[in-house]
């Protein structure tokens, strides 16, 4: 029963709805975002709007973590002003909002450019089957990885606080892959693009994933080395 509860908690949290931090303000912002994606966006399936939305959401997401999480990032000012826990909750709330819109924008690009690409001669049944398999593999791996490391690590709480908050995890998908969250855990983005037969969905999915890996290589990797990897004596 506890495992099921933890699984549900993990799924809700990576979707932006962190249950034990869900204030009324967060609920309004996240609920409005979902309503926006369901009720408003379908009226504007135009690629230039979708790309604009992606650019804005990318600045909110990737730009935000680049601004906040480095060793001398804005996190230091937030912690100094609000204290660790309150500052983290503000940070987590904004990041959850940015996470959600980044995902919505990628789906919006695929929907806005459906049928555009080198799909002639490929039966739609084949692309749908591949999309289903990629979704299962991508989401399954992402949920599994988040379940294993915990939601605080998923939201980079250790980087925000600048210190270790738990032992380094080498279980679950981390036994087989160095970075399953940023790698296989992104396959569902390409699955959506395949489902809509969207070349632009594949392109911007690759751009988005490249930016995430760039953050890992330029900021996160050095934090992991100095925080979790013990120097050899």
Q: Where are the domains of the chain?
A: 2-227
Listed in sequence order, the residues at least 6 apart from 227 whose beta carbon sits closer than 8 Å to its beta carbon are: 158, 163, 164
Q: Determine the Cα–Cα distance for residues 143 and 172; give it in Å rounded to an integer.
A: 11
Contact, 196 vs 133, CB < 8 A? no
Nearest to 205 by CA among 95, 132, 113: 113
The Cα–Cα gap between 24 and 30 comes to 10
- CA separation for the pair 221, 210 (Å, rounded): 15
- Which ranges of 113-182 does DSSP label H, i.e. alpha helix? 124-149, 151-154, 157-161
Angle at 58 between CA 54 and CA 60, to 5 degrees: 120
In angstroms, the Cα distances linking 227 to 4, 19, 161 are: 31, 28, 11
What's the helix, strand, coil split of the chain in %, to 5? 75, 0, 25
Number of helices followed by number of strands (H, E) in the chain: 12, 0
pLDDT single digits (tens) 20-56: 998 888 989 899 999 999 998 888 899 999 999 999 9
- The confidence score (pLDDT) of residue 121 equals 66
Q: 128, 195 in Cβ contact below 8 A?
A: yes
Q: pTM of the full predicted structure?
A: 0.91
Q: How far apart are CA 49 and CA 56, in angstroms?
A: 11
Annotate 46-84 with b (16+ C-beta within 10 A) or e (fewer). eeeebbebbeebbebbbebbbebbbeebebeebbeeeeb
pLDDT at 230: 61
Tokens at 26, concatenated: 């967060």
Point out the residues of the chain with pLDDT beneath 50: 232-233
């Amino acid at each position: 029963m506890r495992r099921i509860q933890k699984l549900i908690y993990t799924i809700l949290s990576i979707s932006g709805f962190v249950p034990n931090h869900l204030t009324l303000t967060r609920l309004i912002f996240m609920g409005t975002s979902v309503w926006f994606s369901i009720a408003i966006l379908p009226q504007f399936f135009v690629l230039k709007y979708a790309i604009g939305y992606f650019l804005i959401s990318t600045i909110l997401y990737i730009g935000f973590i680049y601004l906040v999480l480095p060793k001398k990032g804005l996190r230091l000012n937030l912690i100094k002003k609000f204290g660790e826990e309150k500052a983290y909750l503000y940070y987590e709330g904004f990041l959850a909002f940015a996470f959600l819109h980044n995902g919505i924008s990628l789906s919006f690009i695929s929907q806005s450019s459906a049928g555009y690409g080198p799909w002639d001669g490929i039966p739609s049944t084949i692309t749908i089957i591949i999309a289903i398999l990629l979704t299962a593999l991508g989401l399954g791996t992402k949920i599994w990885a988040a379940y294993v490391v915990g939601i605080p690590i998923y939201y980079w709480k250790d980087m925000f606080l600048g210190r270790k908050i738990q032992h380094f995890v080498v279980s679950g998908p981390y036994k087989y892959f160095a970075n399953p969250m940023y790698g296989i855990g992104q396959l569902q983005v390409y699955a959506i693009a395949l489902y809509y037969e969207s070349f632009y969905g594949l392109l911007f999915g690759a751009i988005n994933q490249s930016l995430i890996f760039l953050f890992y290589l330029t900021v996160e990797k050095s934090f992991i080395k100095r925080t979790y990897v013990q120097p050899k004596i």
